[in-house]
Amino acid sequence: MITQKAKYAIKALVALARAEQGRPSTIRDIAARERIPQSFLEQILIELRRAGLVESRRGKEGGYLLAAAPEEIGLGRVLRLIDGPVAPLPCLSRTAYRRCADCSDEASCTVRAIFSEMYETTVTVLDRTTLMDALKSASGASLDAADPVADGVST
């Protein structure tokens, strides 16, 4: 399950992707439109700026903009940035691998085997799903590119 912070981060990024290109959105506008507490949104946008996903502009016409095109910002990257590793077990993590203390042999670990396929499918979908896909999804368009069933991946 993703955290509320990750949900807000994705909502804010989608809001920025919807904005007129080159025109910054203010924290106040995003917070009101997406129903995100303004102080929490400010912290999230600072984190997204530090990671290079958004940029900020100062002044009367200032605010936040995406730092890259929506099709270049993957949801997997956003989730890892905000929530940390997405693996259900530390021994499956690609970014924070850690051997489980109670496991003597990963190759024969039943729990690892059960979660491995689910994790691989999840990561594949997360890493290829972009903000552009989220925009299309929100507008009711098909998400074949992010649909594991459409690509023959069993879930």
State the chain's mean pLDDT as an integer.
88
Kindly list the structural domains of the chain, giving each domain's residue range(s) and its CATH number in brackets, ordered by start: 4-66 (1.10.10.10), 86-146 (no CATH)
E strand segments, 16-103: 54-57, 63-66
Which pTM was predicted? Answer: 0.81
Q: pLDDT tens digit string along 64-75?
A: 999 999 999 999
Residue of 133, 24, 18, 21 whose CA lies nearest to 71 = 133
Separation between Cα atoms, residue 137 and residue 37, nearest integer Å: 24
**Residue 53 CB coordination number (10 Å):** 23
pLDDT, residue 95, reads 83
Separation between Cα atoms, residue 20 and residue 131, nearest integer Å: 15
Q: Which stretches in the chain have pLDDT values below 70? A: 140-155
Residue 22 CB contacts under 8 Å (≥ 6 apart), including other chains: 65
